[in-house]
A and B are shown apart, each in its own frame.
Chain A
Amino acid sequence: MSVLAQIAQDIEAADLQNIEAAGGAGMAYGLAAIGPGIGIGYLVGQAVQAMARQPESAGQVQTTMFLGIAFTEALALIGFVVFILLKFV
């Protein structure tokens, strides 16, 4: 306990601010990647089901799936950009 107390004393306010900023930025990035992950999983699952039910339209479904993935990925990119702007600017 005394070691922990010593560490707490050594940490200055500026360090705390840096830790909070890094934690906040990391959390923003992590949370922003969860949503698209779920979205892409759902999207791809439905696309595979569509291809299995109608193999003749597989090409068309793949195009739609690719565009859907790219649009969903934009959400993660926004989270990433917020992360780099919060952390490094």
Chain B
Amino acid sequence: MNAPANPLAMRMEGPSPAVEVAKDLARRGALIAPVAAMVGAIFWGTDGAVSVAYALAIVVVNFLLAAWSLGFAARISIALMAGVALFGFLIRLGLITLAVLLVRDAAWVELIPLGLTLIITHLGLLFWEMRFVSASLAFPGLKPKPGLDAAQASNSPTISDLSETKEHQ
């Protein structure tokens, strides 16, 4: 069994897989936005459509902000990433509260579709994204597209390769 590394000194390099997943979530959010706005328009009119779009924007920005902050902190230190994850949760919750409270009296806001969209799209996008998340060391973020060459996967290090490298060192 490996001795644990020092999280204060350890940091991640290269592109963050969390950012990759968040960008994919944003892409899927943009895909469902017209349908969601249409549903809002059917039940609550134009105000409903605008409120649904606003809530969807809040959800997507929240995902991107969370992933970016985690990726940024992980490049400095894993321990900092833990702190950013906790305080980032509080800060982002505050920002969501602010974003909703600032517009709650606006003429175009319907609070019921806005609230429902916040919950449904947040969970819905996550469950949808779960189908595309990879669980391999070669592709730590998203699963490779079917057309992507298998050579890239075979060239990527596996656990055993890395263990051997460690033993040689």
Interface of B is mostly: helix
Number of A-B contacts (CB under 8 A): 138
* Residue interface bits A41-56, CB-to-B below 8 A is 1, else 0: 1001101110111111
A69 to B10, CA, bound (A): 21
Contact A74 B119, beta carbon cutoff 8 Å:
yes
Task: Answer yes or no: A21 CB below 8 A from chain B CBs.
Answer: no
In the complex, which of the residues B115, B126, B130, B163 has the most CB atoms of chain A within 10 Å of its own CB atom? B115
Contact B5 A55, beta carbon cutoff 8 Å:
yes
Residues of chain A within 8 A of B135, CB atoms compared: 60
Query: How far does the Cβ of B142 sit from chain A's closest Cβ, in whole Å?
Result: 9
Contact A88 B104, beta carbon cutoff 8 Å:
yes
Known contacts A84-B111, A88-B111, A89-B112: A56-B162 contact under CB 8 Å:
yes
A54 to B112, CA, bound (A): 45
Contact A85 B115, beta carbon cutoff 8 Å:
yes
- Size range of the interface on B? 35 or more
Number of interface residues of A (CB under 8 A): 39
A49-B4, A52-B4, A74-B119 given; 9 more Cβ-contact pairs under 8 Å = A47-B82, A48-B78, A66-B18, A67-B129, A67-B130, A73-B89, A77-B96, A80-B93, A88-B111
List chain A positions with a Cβ less than 8 A from chain B.
Answer: 33, 36-37, 40-41, 44-45, 47-49, 51-60, 62-63, 65-67, 69-71, 73-74, 76-78, 80-81, 84-85, 88-89
A-B CB contact pairs (8 Å), 19 listed:
A37-B90, A41-B86, A44-B81, A44-B85, A48-B7, A49-B4, A51-B10, A55-B5, A56-B157, A56-B159, A62-B12, A62-B16, A62-B70, A63-B18, A66-B70, A67-B129, A71-B126, A73-B62, A81-B115
